[in-house]
Chains A and B, each alone.
Chain A
Amino acid sequence: MTTPPRILYCNCTYAQVVPKEVKEAVLKKLCESGVAFDAVADLCEMSARLDPALKRLADGGAVKIAACYPRAVKWLFHAAKAPLPIEAAEILNMRVQSADEVANALFSAELQPNLPTGKATKPSAVELPKSEVAA
């Protein structure tokens, strides 16, 4: 039997960029459900403080995160030296998705990993193996 993904909810407390009605509706649905979940006030603030809690949140296996853009979430965790598992993290974007869409995805047993992967630009000198730099 596979273990269901964990749920992490970000309240984006310190900015008004996530529509209030969406984040409230998502939290309400989480509270009405019987599921266990982690909720944080603001992933940005935790990343800025290199909060060790991000490591515990990233390390615990498959996870669904209700927050904002996947690209931002990926690099916020990376900045705090707590990279998310690329193949085991699904980000739901409360800035653009509806509360129903986000909640349905959170409660679905299926995980749809969607973190951006792969270098989008030419690798810099520091990213290339030394043999390739010489060539």
Chain B
Amino acid sequence: MPLKEQTTLRVVLYEGDGAQPLEAGDRFTTMTTLLEKGFAVTRVSDKGRVAPADRTSLLVLGRFNDGRAPLGEDASGLVNLRFQDITDFDSNRIAEAVETLRAETNAAKHGDWKPWFPVIDYDRCTNCMQCLSFCLFGVYGVDEQQRIQVQNNDNCKTNCPACSRVCPEAAIMFPKYKAGPINGDVVSDADLQREKMKIDISALLGGDVYAMLRERSEKAKSRFSKERDADKALQERQKCLVKLASAGDIPPEVLMSLPSPEEIARRAEEAKAKAQTVLAAQQRGASTA
């Protein structure tokens, strides 16, 4: 099921009237165990507020009096509400109970995908479409206003921040990246110069990285036809990919899983055409306004 169609399960750790509070240590262990398994947990108490309920499934955990979970349901019928007594449960048993309910309610299973995808900073983005024309995997698209957006984040290649390197304004973030400004840290003038430099590097390598791949592919093909040496062609491609990896900080496994050079060329042309169409529409809009 696509990521965006999945419902979520909200877990509430209830320690109010009709339930015994957990020891601080037990509370911490329970919270940690559930968070590490991907669940959202709300701790309610009489001090402070929490986010209101919504239409997601709600599981209320508590050490209820007499060890009996209350019976109850949402009067509006919008929330799938369940209670679970956790008296004498350790954190693992609590996690099992939560997981069982998650499966029963068909809620999203967490941890199947590392959340690695670009996040656009629209305070910096100039809608130049460089990311759209660069990405081979159809991650980017435009909305009805022809504004760039991330449309297929699960197509993104884990740990690859290459599109953020081609953004002239450092407007593309990968919050789980190791260093700034790609991780969301403040963008400095020096960062902008560095980003520009990286584009220059790719230009030096042959116009753009995909053009370079295509050129290498042609050379390899020509040699291949003369020498019939498939290993040499592969070595050549690998050499080229190593250069790309260091210039764009692209993980080698991502580069090695790229499709054939012919397919790369096709997708690059497709992405470029898409970006050009959007830019042309923008220009038409500007001139007719």
Contact between B114 and A39 (Cβ–Cβ < 8 Å)? no
In the assembled complex, B35 has its CB within 8 A of some CB on chain A = yes
User: Which A residue sits closest to B38, measured CB to CB?
Assistant: A41
**Is B49 touching A39 in the complex (CB atoms < 8 A)?**
no
B237-289 CB contacts (< 8 Å) to partner A: 282-283, 285-286, 289
* Residues of B contacting A: mostly: loop
A42 & B115 in contact (Cβ 8 Å cutoff): yes
Task: State which of A15, A31, A49 has its C-beta within 8 Å of the C-beta of B6.
Answer: A49
What residues on B are CB-neighbors of A78 within 8 Å?
Answer: 122
> B51 contacts A56, CB within 8 Å?
yes
Instruction: Determine if B42 and A17 form an interchain contact, defined as CB atoms under 8 angstroms apart.
Output: no
A112 to B68, CA, bound (A): 43
Q: How many A-B residue pairs have CB under 8 A?
A: 210
Q: Which stretch of B130-138, B176-184, B205-213 is in the interface?
A: B176-184
Contact A48 B153 (CB under 8 A): yes
Residues from 6 to 62 in A contacting B, C-beta threshold 8 Å: 6-8, 11-15, 17, 24, 27-28, 30-32, 34-42, 44-53, 55-57, 59-61
Bound Cα distance A94, B8 (Å): 25
Max chain A C-beta neighbours (<10 A), residue from B45, B48, B147: B48
Chain B residue at smallest Cβ distance from A67: B175
Please tell me if B83 contacts chain A, counting CB pairs below 8 Å.
no
Whether B19 is near chain A, meaning CB under 8 Å from some CB there, is no
Contact of A53 with B43 at beta-carbon distance under 8 Å, contacts A48-B117, A75-B120, A126-B147 already known? no
* Number of B interface residues in the complex (CB < 8 A): 73
Query: Which residue of the partner chain B has the closest CB to A69?
Result: B184
* Inter-chain contacts of B51 with A (CB < 8 A): 6, 8, 38, 53, 56-57, 59-60
Kindly state the separation between the CA atoms of A109 and B117 in the bound complex, as whole angstroms. 35
Residue pair B54, A125 in contact (C-beta under 8 Å): no
Q: Which residue on chain B has the smallest CB distance to residue A34?
A: B47
Quote the shortest CB–CB distance from A110 to chain B (angstroms). 15
Q: For A32, A39, A57, A122, which residue has the most chain B Cβ atoms within 10 angstroms?
A: A39
CA distance A126 to B63 in the complex (A): 55
* Candidates A34, A42, A72, A118; contact of B38 at CB < 8 Å: A42
Whether B65 sits at the interface, judged by CB under 8 Å, is no
Contacting A72 at CB < 8 Å: which of B4, B40, B184?
B184
B201 within 8 Å of A (CB atoms): no
Contact call B146/A38, Cβ cutoff below 8 A: no
Q: Do B110 and A27 touch (CB < 8 A)?
A: no
CB distance from A33 to the nearest CB of B (A): 8
Q: List 22 A-B contacts (CB under 8 A).
A: A6-B50, A17-B176, A17-B177, A34-B47, A35-B48, A36-B42, A36-B45, A37-B43, A37-B50, A38-B40, A38-B50, A39-B35, A44-B117, A49-B4, A49-B6, A69-B180, A120-B124, A120-B169, A121-B124, A125-B127, A133-B285, A134-B289
Q: Which 5 A-B pairs have the closest CB atoms?
A: A72-B184, A69-B184, A124-B127, A44-B115, A36-B48
